[in-house]
Amino acid sequence: MAEENCLYTQGFTLLGILTAAYIVIRQTWRAVRGLRTHVLSQWWRTDLTKYGRWAVVTGATDGIGKAYALELAKRGLDIVLISRTLEKLKRVAAEIEKASGRKIKYIQADFTNGSNIYHTIQEELKGLEIGVLVNNVGMKLSDLPVKFLDTPNLEKMVESIINCNIMSAVQMTRIVLSQMVQRKKGLVINISSEAGRRPLPMALMYSASKVFVDYFSRGLDLEYKSKGITVQCVMPMFVSTEMTYNMNTNVFVKSADAFACEALNTVEYTERTSGCLSHTIQSYASSLLPDFLFYFILGLKSLEKYFVDLNTSYKNKAN
């Protein structure tokens, strides 16, 4: 009996040691990968021009999209800007051309309008050697926080979010990917969000749409990696843009320009990223919380108060 108890004790001790060793090795490996992705990549950047001459960026006149377009131009690519407002397209095109000396084209398109816009986009892109596609365009509900059934103009808003946040990534990839596969090289960057890692109450449609972008990206990468195609999903935390009411930047909140620069450094270092070191650390800390604890800490009331405070802060700045 004593011998059996001793064997059980030794077995559980060995299991504990192996479990602890596994956790230490796993976390050490994650830390090493993080340093490689976010630190070493600043000095050993991927040459993005090897994918092709042109980069196409959707939602390119504001925020992260504009910052990606500018950074890609600085790194030697000609740029196609696609966005809704013609005046903004002209202004941003001139701004990027002046800053980078690269050739800039633009296409006016409203991605909330559904599938009728993609024939025109496809025709406009014919003949261009497109090496990089950045599926950035996206929208959130204008009336946050709000529960699903309380959303104003719910039917129209649901259709618009699906068209803009989901259909745009699928259709733009369809248009561009085939010629990348023919050339056996190409880079597709899909901008998702940290909000896509777990359901986000009071902003549910936005959160759910970003889950699609994440899964679409990961599956696409597995399907086409062997064809020479790199697919990266970028899932940022808070970036100071109009969508986040131009929050003040700090160690947690990145400016769009700084974020785009760091995120592009991670290309070929990782297929799924928070984009920058600060956001990666924040995302990792959040992931340690089990769902029940995460939602207990967050709480619907806390989340609602957060959005209200954010809206109030934005209105005060505007005044």
Report d(CA 163, CA 112) in Å as an integer. Answer: 5
Active-site residue, selected from the candidate residues 106, 206, 224, 306: 206
270 pLDDT band, cuts 50/70/90, is very high
Residue 202: predicted pLDDT: 85
160 pLDDT band, cuts 50/70/90, is very high
Q: At residue 162, does pLDDT exceed 70?
A: yes
Q: At residue 257, does pLDDT exceed 70?
A: yes
Per-residue pLDDT of 165-223, as tens digits, reads 999 999 999 999 999 999 999 999 999 999 999 998 888 999 999 999 999 999 999 99
Residue 6: predicted pLDDT: 72
Percent of the chain with pLDDT over 70: 88
Residue 312: predicted pLDDT: 58
Residue 262: predicted pLDDT: 97
DSSP 193-256: -GGGTS--TTSHHHHHHHHHHHHHHHHHHHHHGGGTEEEEEE--S-EESGGGTTPPP-SSSEEH
Report d(CA 74, CA 188) in Å as an integer. Answer: 18
45-318 has which CATH code?
A: 3.40.50.720
Distances (CA, A) of 122 to 25, 102, 107, 171: 48, 22, 10, 10
Q: At residue 300, does pLDDT exceed 70?
A: no
Q: How confident is the model over 13-22, as a mean pLDDT?
A: 74
11 pLDDT band, cuts 50/70/90, is low
Q: At residue 275, does pLDDT exceed 80?
A: yes
Q: How confident is the model over 229-249, as a mean pLDDT?
A: 92
Residue 7: predicted pLDDT: 64
Residue 208: predicted pLDDT: 96
Radius of gyration of the chain (CA): 22
Residue 4: predicted pLDDT: 58
Peptide bond into 290 cis (omega under 30): no
15 pLDDT band, cuts 50/70/90, is confident
Residue 313: predicted pLDDT: 56
Residue 186: predicted pLDDT: 98
- Read off the pTM: 0.87
245 is catalytic: no
Q: What average pLDDT is seen over the chain?
A: 89
Residue 254: predicted pLDDT: 96
Q: Which of 10-14, 141-145, 224-228 has the highest mean pLDDT?
A: 224-228
- CB burial of 3-18 (b: ≥16 within 10 Å; e: otherwise) equals eeeeeeeeeeeeeeee
- CB burial of 115-131 (b: ≥16 within 10 Å; e: otherwise) equals eebbeebeebbeebebb
Query: Which residues are paired to 191 by β-bridges?
Result: 234
Residue 299: predicted pLDDT: 67
Residue 309: predicted pLDDT: 55
Report d(CA 154, CA 148) in Å as an integer. Answer: 8
Per-residue pLDDT of 63-108, as tens digits, reads 999 999 999 999 999 999 999 999 999 999 999 999 999 999 999 9
CA 223 from chain centre, in angstroms, equals 20
Report d(CA 15, CA 280) in Å as an integer. Answer: 31
